[in-house]
Amino acid sequence: MNEVREIMRVRRDLYSFLSSLFYGRVTKDFVNDLVNGEIRLPEDEEINEGLRIMRRFVEERGEIERALIDIEDEFVRLLLGISEKIPVSKSELFGEGGYGKISLEVEEKMRKLGYVQINKSLPPDHIAMELDFMSVLIESSLDEDRDIKDCLKEQLEFLQDEMLSWIPEVLDRIEEKGEFFKGVAKLTRGFLRLDKKIISEILLW
C-alpha cells in the first residue's frame, strides 16, 4: 500500500504542475531545469516528445529571459487572446461561453466530490481548474481513513467521463498553433492517457 501512496503523490504533483502551466505560470526555475534535463517525469514517448519540444523552444532563444518573454507572449496570444484564442474551457469549446450551463454542471460534479473552488478567476470547466481539481482529489485520497480504491474509482470516473470528453480536442488545437505550448499539449495528452492506464491497473491489484 505504501507503493500505491507514492504513486498517488507523483500523480498529484504532476496534475498540479500541468495546472500551473495552463494558468500561464511558467517559472524561470522550471525553464532552467528543462534546459538542464532535470525534469523527471514518467517514461512515455509522448511525454518525452513534449519535453523535447519545450526544451528546443528555449534553446533556440539562447537566453532564459528571452524564452520566458516569448512563452508569455504565446500564452497570451493563444490561450488568452482574441484573434487566435483557443478554447480552454469546456463551455468555450462547445460554444456556450463562460459560466453557463456546462460550467455549472462541472462545478456540481466537483462539489459532490468535496471540492470547493477557492480561485474564482477561472470557470470550473477551465482546463487548469480541472487539472487542479484532480490534484486535490488525489491529495484527499491520501487520507488514511479513506479507502484508496474507492478514491481511485472517483478519479477514474472524472478523468474518463469529464476530462477525456473534451480536453484532447483542446490539446489538438494547441498543437496546431503552438510552439512552446505544443510541447505542453503533447506532455498533457501523454500523461492523461498514461494516468488512465495507471489507475485501471492499480484497481486490479
CATH number at 110 reads 1.10.3480.10
**pLDDT by residue (tens digit) across 44-101?**
999 999 999 999 999 999 999 999 999 999 999 999 986 678 999 999 999 887 678 9
| 99 dihedral zone (left: phi>0; alpha: psi -120 to 50; beta) | left
The three cell numbers of residue 95 are: 460554444
Q: What is the pLDDT, as a whole number, of residue 131?
A: 97
Report how far residue 15's alpha carbon sits from residue 41's, in angstroms, rounded to the nearest whole number: 12
Q: What is the pLDDT, as a whole number, of residue 100?
A: 83
Question: How many domains, in total, are found in the chain?
Answer: 1
Largest CA distance in the chain: 50
Q: Is the dihedral of CA 156, 157, 163, 164 positive or negative?
A: positive
**pLDDT by residue (tens digit) across 17-40?**
999 999 999 999 999 999 999 998
**pLDDT by residue (tens digit) across 174-188?**
999 999 999 999 999
Name the more confident of 143 and 190: 190
Q: What is the pLDDT, as a whole number, of residue 1?
A: 67
Q: Which domain holds residue 177?
A: 2-203
Q: What is the pLDDT, as a whole number, of residue 116?
A: 78
- Which segments of the chain does DSSP mark as H helices, in order? 2-23, 28-35, 45-61, 64-75, 90-93, 101-112, 127-141, 148-161, 167-177, 180-203
Report pTM: 0.94
Q: Is pLDDT of 195 > 70? A: yes
The confidence band for 117, taking pLDDT boundaries of 50, 70 and 90, is: confident
Q: What is the pLDDT, as a whole number, of residue 172?
A: 97
Report how far residue 191's alpha carbon sits from residue 186's, in angstroms, rounded to the nearest whole number: 9
| 65 dihedral zone (left: phi>0; alpha: psi -120 to 50; beta) | alpha
When the pLDDT of each residue in the chain is averaged and rounded to a whole number, the result is 93
In order, the DSSP letters of 144-188 are TTS-HHHHHHHHHHHHHHTGGGTHHHHHHHHHHH-SHHHHHHHHH
